[in-house]
Amino acid sequence: LLAHWWHAGTVDEKSSTFGSGEFVTSTPPVDNRPTVTCPGCGLETPDLSFCVRCGTTLGSARPAKHRIWRKEFAAAPRERTWAPHIISTLFPQLPDHDMAGFGIALFVGLAVIVVLAAARLYPIALTVACALLPILMVLYLYSADIYEREPLRVIGATMLWGAIVGVGLGLWLHNVGVSLDPKGLNQFSDADTWVRLVAVPLTGFALAVVGLIPLLRYRRYNDVLDGTTFGAATGITVVCVQTIVQAWPLLYAGFRPHGATAQWTVELIEVALLLPLIWAASVGMSGAALWLRFRAPVRDRTKLGPVGNPIVALISAAVILVAAYIGWQELTLWPGLVFLAFVAAAGVVALRYAIHVGLVEESDEIEIGPDVVCANCHRETPLHTFCARCGVALKALPKAPPAGENQ
């Protein structure tokens, strides 16, 4: 990861695992560029490594039957679509090398949490666990300029709203009693079980989705990618703020309250990474469905299949969320960790699929434009939907910088 991070931007196409085309050092005029018929979309595209219209790898022995089945993840062609990579799913709108930077930041954050837990500084470790992903999300929104020069509107509707919801849920949980043991449904009364495992997650989920609706009004946020990003940011903030508010009394116990280090470490990892991922996937998928239904062209509205239907998506996401909490509560420490990791991985893949389909299906039906420099691989590519050199979706790159900041 480190090597990739430092050497990003200097990748030779010949050594690339995904480039199969000829390395072109000079770009002929667009009109004279040799073209081929893309096996994915059946349209003419410059004879380079990837189809500029659908991102299909040109010259591959067995082209995908449909362009959404291309192996390369549209937002990060180095990775497979169905692999549960966290960084490129949570932060898709970044060039490769910046994704590596976020990966390092996440790794360092988790390492800090483990070290703090090993030192038995549990209250501090828990605070860092609850802050880690929100910090990275804020950095991402800023770095990739997701909010397009309107930070108050976007961050207000996503992370600030998520924080308000999280505070409310955390305070609510203060009055639901204390579990005898972290695991096991029999530790709660029926009423407490209902509140903790069903009512609180569903209320948080519903309020998180409600926070996205105002952003649907704005045409500038018209990509499915915008919906998934806003949903993921809101979901992460809700669960992290809820956890820190719920755990607030821990601060009264001093720097080193009692507890087994292994148990604390496992639960801190769950709080820092797995639960936020599940929330990000649930709310992000719902955001994708809403954006596909209300912001995408009519022809694209069925592209996500049944999950693209907002009603189906919302119900599915809610069921996944509640199931995750029930499994987590019912299982003991290590099985609970494995279960949450499985649900989180499945959620990441689902969210990744929504991003991928959104990027592929939103390919503009426009003429191929003049050559430009791709922000991901730094090589010239005809301006269209995908980079013909590295295969990244050009929409999955930072938005244009504000005037005066270019270069």
Partner 1 sequence: MTTAAPPAPPKRIPPPPPPHVHPPGNAGARTTRKQIPALAIIAILVVIGLAAGLVAIFKPGPPIGDCPGTGACAPPEAVPLAAGVASPKNDLGFSFLYSAGNFYAPTTSADKRDITLTGKNNAGDQWVVRVTGVPATGNSPPDLVSKRKSELVAKYGSLEDDAASETHLVFPSIGHVAAVGGSYKTDVFANGPTGDIARIAIFAAGNTKIDLVVSVEVETSSSTFNDKADAAHCDGWIVVRCRRSTADLILDSMQWP
The amino acid present at 293, given as its one-letter code, is R
- Answer whether 143's CB lies under 8 Å from 109's CB: no
Rg (CA), the chain: 22
Cα 159 → chain centroid: 14
Output DSSP code: residue 224: H
Binding residue for partner 1, selected from 41, 43, 105, 337, defined by CB under 8 A? 105
Is residue 119 part of the contact set for partner 1 (CB under 8 A)?
A: no
Is residue 368 part of the contact set for partner 1 (CB under 8 A)?
A: no
Nearest Cα to 9, choosing from 404, 392, 302? 392
Binding residue for partner 1, selected from 19, 39, 40, 123, defined by CB under 8 A? 123
Q: Torsion-angle region of residue 76: left (phi > 0), alpha (psi -120 to 50) or beta?
A: beta
Contacts 24+ apart (CB under 8 A), 307-310: 307/350, 307/354, 310/286
Is residue 124 part of the contact set for partner 1 (CB under 8 A)?
A: yes
Is the Cβ of residue 19 or residue 101 nearer to partner 1 in the bound state? 101
Is the Cβ of residue 17 or residue 407 nearer to partner 1 in the bound state? 407
> Segment contacting partner 1 (CB under 8 A): 36-44, 199-207, 317-325, 392-400?
392-400
The amino acid present at 23, given as its one-letter code, is F
Is residue 187 part of the contact set for partner 1 (CB under 8 A)?
A: yes
Is the Cβ of residue 259 or residue 327 nearer to partner 1 in the bound state? 259
- Answer whether 294's CB lies under 8 Å from 308's CB: no
Site string for partner 1, 128-157 (x = CB under 8 A): x--xx--xx--x--xxxx------------
Near partner 1 in 318-337, by CB under 8 A: none
Nearest Cα to 281, choosing from 224, 226, 238, 236? 236
**Least CB distance from residue 386 to partner 1, whole Å?**
12
Is residue 30 part of the contact set for partner 1 (CB under 8 A)?
A: no
**Least CB distance from residue 194 to partner 1, whole Å?**
10
- The residues near 228 (Cβ < 8 Å, ≥ 6 apart) are 92, 284, 285, 287, 288, 291, 351, 354, 355, 358
Is the Cβ of residue 188 or residue 279 nearer to partner 1 in the bound state? 188
Nearest Cα to 53, choosing from 39, 43, 65, 66? 43
Is residue 180 part of the contact set for partner 1 (CB under 8 A)?
A: yes
Is residue 302 part of the contact set for partner 1 (CB under 8 A)?
A: no
Binding residue for partner 1, selected from 35, 37, 186, 332, defined by CB under 8 A? 186
Nearest Cα to 360, choosing from 44, 41, 79? 41
Near partner 1 in 242-261, by CB under 8 A: 248-260
Binding-residue total with partner 1 (CB under 8 A): 77
CB atoms near residue 253 (< 10 Å): 12
Is residue 374 part of the contact set for partner 1 (CB under 8 A)?
A: yes
Nearest Cα to 300, choosing from 222, 352, 387? 222
Q: Which residue has the tokens 């009364």?
A: 189
Is residue 27 part of the contact set for partner 1 (CB under 8 A)?
A: yes
Is residue 391 part of the contact set for partner 1 (CB under 8 A)?
A: no
- The residues near 160 (Cβ < 8 Å, ≥ 6 apart) are none
Near partner 1 in 57-96, by CB under 8 A: 94-95
Near partner 1 in 155-174, by CB under 8 A: 174
> Segment contacting partner 1 (CB under 8 A): 101-109, 215-223, 334-342, 344-352?
101-109
- The residues near 378 (Cβ < 8 Å, ≥ 6 apart) are 9
Alpha carbon distance 212, 247 (integer Å): 27
**Least CB distance from residue 177 to partner 1, whole Å?**
4
Is the Cβ of residue 216 or residue 390 nearer to partner 1 in the bound state? 390
Is the Cβ of residue 70 or residue 379 nearer to partner 1 in the bound state? 379
Is residue 31 part of the contact set for partner 1 (CB under 8 A)?
A: no
**Least CB distance from residue 139 to partner 1, whole Å?**
6
Nearest Cα to 351, choosing from 101, 91, 142, 166? 91
Is the Cβ of residue 35 or residue 179 nearer to partner 1 in the bound state? 179
Near partner 1 in 188-217, by CB under 8 A: 188-192
